Amino acid sequence: MELQWLRYSCSRPQTFNKVLHRLPRFLRPNSGSCLRDRRRRSFLPIAHPVCRFFSWPSRAGQNLSEQQLNDYGLNFIRTQIITVPGVSVPYPYGGKQRQVQVDLNTTALQSKGLSALDVVNAISVQNLILPTGTSKIGSREYDVSIPNAAPQTIADLNRIPIKTIGGTTIYIKDVAWVRDGFPPQTNIVRVNGQRSVLLTIQKAGNASTLNVISGIKALLPQIKTTLPTQLQISPLNDQSIFVRGAISGVVRETLIAACLTSFT
């Protein structure tokens, strides 16, 4: 695949940069791309990968589903790594994106005189996300929450009433089934034949590769404490090795040149 240069003409380059940094997620790994600034006539590199991590279940954690793997990578690992200065972390590859889905039984809907819109309206009205807070009463402060605003489990979603006909209440479970599902899977990652999740870590802007890698390595022990013990995390590659090698090579050649110059 040959990548073409991208050109832009935008009054708000910061906004354009945010959108452009999402492009590597849809590209093949190790694909480079650049944007061209017409005002400077130069090429500005997009954030490039500095390291990659695999996460997969151990033998004791074979019961972890691909939805759980993707959920841990997206909502637990990624949210902590992104706090390192100069780090840009796209969405993980592999796994299945967790999504609550409602499977309609069209035959049951027709028999009860309902439509799919009735099911959508019932769930929208009775599955609300309302703000909560605290209430100060005297010298104490109490948490205030609204537990009945949104169902807490999948089973509660199946028990949402849709309509009452002749004294009989029709629930979601009578005409549909709510399940913990996933949208169509678009990519698969395997480690030793096991389904896993790949997390690519990029450095953004003028951040130092060495500082980014050292910050991530210092954070990994803390991240592992928030994950189940049957979930393993292993680095795939580390660009800081090549950066350190290049720096040591420059220092060595500089010392050799200095010694040769002093003897002449």
CATH of the domain at 116: 3.30.2090.10
Q: How many domains does one find in the chain?
A: 2
Note whether 202 and 50 are within 8 A (CB): yes
Tokens of 177: 């089934």
State yes or no: pLDDT of 10 exceeds 50.
no
CA 70, 74, 80 angle in degrees (round to 5)? Answer: 140
| Residue range of the domain that includes 252 | 47-93+189-263
Do residues 112 and 174 share a domain? yes
Do residues 172 and 214 share a domain? no
Instruction: Please tell me the predicted confidence (pLDDT) of residue 25.
Output: 55
In a domain, 1, yes or no: no
State yes or no: pLDDT of 74 exceeds 50.
yes
Instruction: Please tell me the predicted confidence (pLDDT) of residue 54.
Output: 65
In a domain, 35, yes or no: no
Tokens of 183: 């949208």
In a domain, 108, yes or no: yes
Instruction: Please tell me the predicted confidence (pLDDT) of residue 62.
Output: 66
CA 151, 171, 144 angle in degrees (round to 5)? Answer: 20
CATH of the domain at 242: 3.30.70.1320
Residue with tokens 């409602």, as numbered in its chain: 102
- Residue 121 pLDDT level (bands cut at 50, 70, 90): very high
Question: What's the pTM value of the predicted model, to 2 decimals?
Answer: 0.60
- Residue 34 pLDDT level (bands cut at 50, 70, 90): very low
In a domain, 40, yes or no: no
Q: What is the DSSP string of 137-195?
A: ETTEEEEE--TTSS-SSHHHHHT-EEEEETTEEEEHHHHEEEEEE-PPP---EEETTEE
Within 10 A of 202 (CB to CB), how many other CB atoms are there?
A: 20
In a domain, 17, yes or no: no
pLDDT digits (tens, 9 = 90+) for 166-193: 888 999 999 999 998 888 888 888 888 8
In a domain, 14, yes or no: no
Note whether 95 and 195 are within 8 A (CB): yes
Distance CA 249, CA 244 (A): 8
Going across the sheet that includes 34-37, the strands are 6-7, 34-37, 42-45
Average pLDDT across the chain, whole number = 78
Note whether 191 and 57 are within 8 A (CB): no
What is the rounded average pLDDT of the residues 71-96? 88
Do residues 119 and 176 share a domain? yes
In a domain, 209, yes or no: yes
Tell me how far CA of residue 20 lies from CA of 35, 79, 130, 192, 249, in angstroms. 9, 20, 34, 33, 34
